[in-house]
Structure 1
Amino acid sequence: MSEARAIALTGDDLSIDQIIDIARNGAQVCLSDTVRTNLVSTRKFIDESWLVDDAPLMYAFNTGVGALKNQRISATDIARFQRNLIHSHSASTGELMPDEVVRAMMAIRANTFARNHSGIRIEVVDRLIAMLNAGITPVIAAKGSVGASGDLAPLALMSGALLGLEQSNVSYRGAVMSARSAFEQIGLEPTFDVEAKDATALINGSTASLAYAVIAAFDARRLLSNATISLALSLEAMRAERSCFDDRVMAARPHAGQRRVASAIRRLLQGTSRCTNEARATSIDGAASSTAAQPRIQDVYSFRCAPQVYGPVLDALDYIDGILVTEMNSATDNPLIFAADGGYDIVSCGHFHGQYVAQAMDLLALVVTDLSAICDRRNNQLIDPACNYGLPRNMIATEPGINTGFAVVQSMGTGLVLENMGLCSPASVTSLPAKGNQEDHISNACFAARRTRTVVENAQAVVSAEILIAAQALDIVDHAMTAFPLGQGAKAALETVRSEVPAMLGDDRWVYDDVESVRRLVRDGKLIGAVTAACGDMWAPAP
């Protein structure tokens, strides 16, 4: 992307979609001209007024940190103190943060500096942005942050790469190499140094937690759309009753999310003849059904109550996005600097604390777990001949016994739901004091957000399983149901799935590949795109 088309960071209006574009698509970023001017002006005052030994004590500027807050740092030692902060705080461990999460963290941190409350030098921000735009991504161990004084350790590892420390590695052009080597390849100085307030600003704030959270929330919203598509396929496969989605019904209990979900279902099923009494009166071999005179009346809860379960997910996502967008456009380090009476004040505060993010991620884990559970219950209904209205056991198309069908695809979903149930217990209320009781309440935000990313990934596979099983059901009965077309959205979804994964109408095959192929359609938004092209945005207001 050219500089003219770069996302301009202002500190005020960074969006979740922009973060995803930066993190996943390599969108370029820059500072707005106004931000650049303000950062330079603030730093000029700091350099001229505060870098003297008789300056008042200012936490983490000319004092130590934590229990050492009363220890004055001399003006000549401030730069060394800042360098040492990055070394001493690089205490992460465990698995590596995904590159997309690190890129999101870098972009959010730069946007934090654009608020002009951090006092950081413009040269530091420019180097961070240069790394982002060149695709130089620090290698960062993910575990160990308590999300209270911010995500100190992950941000310290990011900062070590920015400085070109000998120990720091980065990912660049598909290879892991020393940070210095990557900088040399793009023509930047291989090493860099921090000065007063630079390191404090770089490492202070729950920005790793927030990066995980923003990506998890984006993927969860996309997941909800895919789960609505998988529901539509299952409704068509079971020739389900649609009256429960009537807007009159929704208006009788007018929760906003529930009503929007019902509207989305109606849009996806628009034009269907499959979910009718006439279709139900036809057996899958084309003969008249013995139950033709027995109307369905109503379906089991996993079908009939979908709006009542999906609606809270949608409402929660709206609430969570509000929190995350506010966090992304906030100053979160400590202390903060404010213009006042021709000069500046420096104020200690607690914006680094990650409780907002932690509680939002606890909520997201909870609602996504429940979403995955109701999808799995429909999967179980579909493969059980006692519940599926004449469909074959396990969706076996031919030679049951020799073939096993989709039983284990369904049970995979159950296993993932069980894992999610274990993971969705609250993290934000789990607090232990740290750093010799200096941090006597912590948020556990980084774990909460990392955990929730896993919950969302598990749920993607559960929804993929429903898509596979429902699509198989529709193909098995296709020869008998040609007189009963599918709704526009369901038809487009089925065609898109079949463009990647053919129906399994003969022997069993290697279903791992099928699951992963559908999961890519779910994760990357291709299935949503095909359905939107056929019947419009499912979340658009009803006419």
Structure 2
Amino acid sequence: MKLIINGRLSINDVAMAARGEATLEIASECLQKIKLSRDVVESIVKEKRAVYGITTGFGKFSDVSISESDSKKLQKNLILSHACGVGDPFAPEIVRAMLILRINALVIGNSGVALSTLKMMCDMFNNDVIPVVPSKGSLGASGDLAPLSHMVVPMFGIGEVYYKGERMAADIALKKAGLTPIELTAKEGLALINGTQAMGSIASLAVTDAINLLKAADITAAMTIEALRGITDAYDHRVHLVRNQVGQMKAASNLRRLLSGSERVTRQGQLRIQDPYTLRCIPQVHGAAKDAVGYITGVVGNEINAVTDNPLIFPDKGDTISGGNFHGQYLSSVMDFLAISLSSIAGISERRTERLVNPQLSNNSLPAFLVKNGGLNSGFMIPQYVAAALVSENKVLSHPASVDSITSSANQEDYVSMGMTAARKARQVVDNLTNILGIELYAACQAIELGEGKLSPVCEAVFKLVRSKVDFIAEDRYMSPDIAACAALIRGGEVVNVSESIVGKLD
């Protein structure tokens, strides 16, 4: 696929290009805007006007004048000095998203970057030269300085990259790809690193995954409802209409569609009067997360098409204004919100798993830990432990980063967002939730096979999908690969796809 970069990307565009075979191309309508903003920068340098980051130093050094002869050295020094991140490197898909988002912000024409620099970034992406970027070191204001600097350093032939999946020195990779290192000119270094695109890349992928996971959570819940002969009256549309919460109505509608045609589900009074909260209140819990993710998606969608560097150039009047669009509070807040919302989904999923494996909670309709000859076999005892451990970890990860701040640059930059911390935490919660839902799906299929009765068409299709990867547990065996397989079916979208192929698009 070819992704045209024009300042108007969708989150789905970013995720698909970052994770699939894609090439980047700058939209033709952006070329004149790029030139006009660059002309403003060059006139500032020629006229020796005092403008932050163009003819001055950075941060606390903003009152230090820089000569025209030193302007190139200033930009290179900026990148080299700021490329000091630590920790494990980001996955290549995150760095690909960083490149996409940074180019997307710069083509809008308020940043003053030369077209040749933007083309170099596209060439690196298109030739699979992906910078190695350490994951820790950003305060989320003035933007993601350290990670974005690591993204830029290989353009000089310095640092490391993944070239076609192999980690190597940047100069070697550029040579293999037929690319020549570049030299930055006035303002370019600052424009390349002064923004929210590192946390924004994580946010884009996390939101994409969260939308899939919320659908998968409804599906895994439906499988558990089938296994426990749940009462469907709680999902009656009238119940949710009078609550007046959109996400709740969507979740209940999904459950009704997913369970339609089942002979295992029951009505109130048929076996029992009402179900416990983990079954009865699925629409309320899942619905709250759906509404939260809807809001989060809007904020992230705005941010990935924003100009977030400093100073900003307005070519129509030749103005250059220092502001604070690099401040990551929007992303910091919504990534905390995402972690909290998905942690609730994880918590109720783990409680459903416990209800499957615990005969006291399944009304003795299922054997302890979903295995025959218990005692000799432990069955699903420890998968529930694993889910519980991940739920507990999510509680720690849900502690907000967005309310924290540590001053920097000699108190010039005295209130920061910690947006990168929030984004990294949210990504870990996404990964944990994927495994927790995988465990519920694994257990639900085992429980279904231990019961009797016709499943709904959707649940039957999901059951067959799981059984194509994971067999019934007749006696204890090595279970980790089974959990990984179930989680992969959720992560890759197969569980959602097979369901939507039957009932249409889920909400």
Q: Secondary structure at the match of 1:86?
A: helix
Q: CA separation in 2, counterparts of 1:400 and 1:67?
A: 67
Partner of 1:509 in structure 2?
Answer: 477
Partner of 1:151 in structure 2?
Answer: 144
Partner of 2:115 in structure 1?
Answer: 122
Partner of 2:499 in structure 1?
Answer: 531
Following superposition, the deviation at residue 41 of structure 1 comes to 3.2
**Contact 2:45-2:54 at 8 Å conserved across structures:** no
Following superposition, the deviation at residue 294 of structure 1 comes to 6.0
Partner of 1:224 in structure 2?
Answer: 214
Following superposition, the deviation at residue 391 of structure 1 comes to 3.1
Partner of 1:173 in structure 2?
Answer: 164
User: Where do residues 58-457 of structure 1 align in structure 2 (5 Å cutoff)?
Assistant: 58-165=51-158, 168-189=159-180, 191-276=181-266, 295-341=271-317, 344-457=318-431
Q: Secondary structure at the match of 2:63?
A: coil
Following superposition, the deviation at residue 397 of structure 1 comes to 3.5
Partner of 1:41 in structure 2?
Answer: 36
Partner of 1:287 in structure 2?
Answer: none
**Contact 1:268-1:489 at 8 Å conserved across structures:** yes
Following superposition, the deviation at residue 51 of structure 1 comes to 2.2
Partner of 1:284 in structure 2?
Answer: none
- % identical aligned pairs: 36
Q: CA separation in 2, counterparts of 1:18 and 1:133?
A: 16
Partner of 2:5 in structure 1?
Answer: 9
**Contact 1:96-1:139 at 8 Å conserved across structures:** yes
Equivalent residues, number: 507
Q: CA separation in 1, counterparts of 2:506 and 2:326?
A: 38
**Contact 1:90-1:156 at 8 Å conserved across structures:** yes
Closer/same/farther in 2, CA of residues 102 and 355 from structure 1, 3 Å limit: same
- Displaced runs of 4+ in structure 1, greater than 2 A? 44-47, 389-398
Partner of 1:486 in structure 2?
Answer: 455
- Cα-Cα RMSD: 1.3
Following superposition, the deviation at residue 40 of structure 1 comes to 2.1
Find the partner of 1:51 among 24, 40, 45. Answer: 45
**Contact 1:368-1:456 at 8 Å conserved across structures:** yes
Which residue type is aligned with residue 223 of structure 2?
L
**Contact 1:372-1:463 at 8 Å conserved across structures:** yes
**Contact 1:39-1:120 at 8 Å conserved across structures:** yes
Following superposition, the deviation at residue 91 of structure 1 comes to 1.5
Q: CA separation in 2, counterparts of 1:41 and 1:380?
A: 62
How far does the alpha carbon of each residue in 1:124-180 deviate from its partner, in whole angstroms, 9 at most, with x for none? 100001111111110011111100101101111111012212xx1100112111111
**Contact 1:358-1:446 at 8 Å conserved across structures:** yes
Which residue type is aligned with residue 174 of structure 2?
F
Following superposition, the deviation at residue 26 of structure 1 comes to 2.9
Following superposition, the deviation at residue 503 of structure 1 comes to 1.2
Following superposition, the deviation at residue 339 of structure 1 comes to 2.2
Following superposition, the deviation at residue 29 of structure 1 comes to 1.3
Q: CA separation in 2, counterparts of 1:512 and 1:424?
A: 26
Rg: which structure is higher? Answer: 1
Q: CA separation in 1, counterparts of 2:395 and 2:368?
A: 25
Which residue type is aligned with residue 430 of structure 1?
D
Q: Secondary structure at the match of 1:69?
A: helix
How far does the alpha carbon of each residue in 1:16-40 deviate from its partner, in whole angstroms, 9 at most, with x for none? 1111111110321111101022212
Partner of 1:19 in structure 2?
Answer: 14
**Contact 2:37-2:111 at 8 Å conserved across structures:** no
Q: CA separation in 2, counterparts of 1:468 and 1:513?
A: 11
**Contact 1:316-1:363 at 8 Å conserved across structures:** yes
Q: CA separation in 1, counterparts of 2:312 and 2:397?
A: 36
Partner of 1:283 in structure 2?
Answer: none
Normalised to the residue count of structure 1, the TM-score between the two structures is 0.91
Following superposition, the deviation at residue 45 of structure 1 comes to 4.2
Which residue type is aligned with residue 483 of structure 2?
V
User: Where do residues 448-487 of structure 1 align in structure 2 (5 Å cutoff)?
Assistant: 448-477=422-451, 481=452, 484-487=453-456
How far does the alpha carbon of each residue in 1:270-310 deviate from its partner, in whole angstroms, 9 at most, with x for none? 11111025xx9xxxxxxxxxxxx864121000100011100
Partner of 1:289 in structure 2?
Answer: none
Following superposition, the deviation at residue 259 of structure 1 comes to 0.2
Which residue type is aligned with residue 496 of structure 1?
L
Q: Secondary structure at the match of 1:337?
A: strand
**Contact 2:41-2:187 at 8 Å conserved across structures:** no
Q: Which is worse superposed, 352-361 or 154-163?
A: 154-163
Q: Secondary structure at the match of 2:167?
A: strand
